Amino acid sequence: MSFRLSQRDKDIIGFINQFRAVDRDSLIDLFFNQLKSPVNACDSVMVRLYRLGLIERTQQYSPTVYLPVDAKIKKNSQKILHFLSILDVYKQMCTYSTPKQVIVEDKPTGRKGGIEPDLFCIFKGSPFWIEIQRNQYSEQKIQEKINLYEEFFFSDEWKALHWQPEERAPIFPSVI
């Protein structure tokens, strides 16, 4: 059986791969809102993509949450709620302006133990690293994260990151 994916299908799969966990209502907001019956349209597309084996889903949540096929996330993992929180921040930003060069769980140092912001993006022309905490952090844990960012700042490695503007001096992202 051969099938063709529409550009929207490809965009949805790419978006799920990028954000790692995406709930149905977010898909409706981002890909189906302009349609006459967005819920039905979304449901039928997502069932088709799931049956084709192009996405995974977990029905542990309501509405359904979709995951990448190769997700190394258990379908009942607390990590899903973390990824949904990252998506929520992204969607809130989109109400003002669509962020560019979005990277979920960025690893700018390329090594474990360095900074690992939950979200990197360029928003309204400025780079941001965003940390999202769903539970209470101790003062010490927060200070450890701050120290890692300061260490990275003083390393100057950030000046060579791929998203730096070529036409002007390198910019260290704002950390939120």
- For 71-111, what is each residue's pLDDT tens digit? 788 887 889 999 999 999 999 999 999 999 999 999 998 87
Q: Where are the alpha helices (DSSP H) in the chain?
A: 7-19, 24-27, 38-51, 79-94, 139-155
Residue 121 and residue 132: Cα distance in Å, rounded? 14
pLDDT at 3 over 90: no
Residue 2 has pLDDT above 60, yes or no: no
| pLDDT band, residue 136 (cuts 50/70/90) | confident
Q: Using alpha carbons only, what angle is made at residue 104 by residues 47 and 136, rounded to the nearest 5 degrees? A: 105
Q: What is the pLDDT of residue 70?
A: 86
Tell me the average pLDDT across 9-14.
97
Query: Quick one: what percent of the chain has pLDDT higher than 90?
Result: 78
Letter for the amino acid at 168? R
The two three-digit tokens of residue 51, written as one number: 């049956």
- pLDDT band of residue 112 (cuts 50, 70, 90) is confident
Q: Above 60 in pLDDT, residue 137? A: yes
15 has pLDDT over 80: yes
The reported pLDDT for the residue numbered 134 is 84
52-54-59-62 Cα dihedral, nearest 10 degrees: -110
* Distance of alpha carbon 170 from alpha carbon 164, whole angstroms: 6
The third-level CATH classification (topology) of the domain covering 1-76 is: Arc Repressor Mutant, subunit A (1.10.10)
Average pLDDT for 117-134: 95
CA distance 86 to 19: 8
Task: Tell me the pLDDT of the chain averaged across its residues.
Answer: 93
This model's pTM is above 0.85: yes
In 3D, which of 169, 167, 147 has the Cα closest to residue 158? Answer: 169
Q: What is the DSSP letter of 60?
A: S
Cα–Cα dist 154/61, whole Å: 43
pLDDT surpassing 60 at residue 1: no
Q: Structural domain boundaries of the chain?
A: 1-76, 97-176
Q: What average pLDDT does this structure show over 6-27? A: 97
- Do 58 and 65 contact (CB within 8 A), yes or no? yes
The rounded distance, in Å, linking the Cα atoms of 137 and 160 is 31
The DSSP bridge partners found for residue 130 are 119
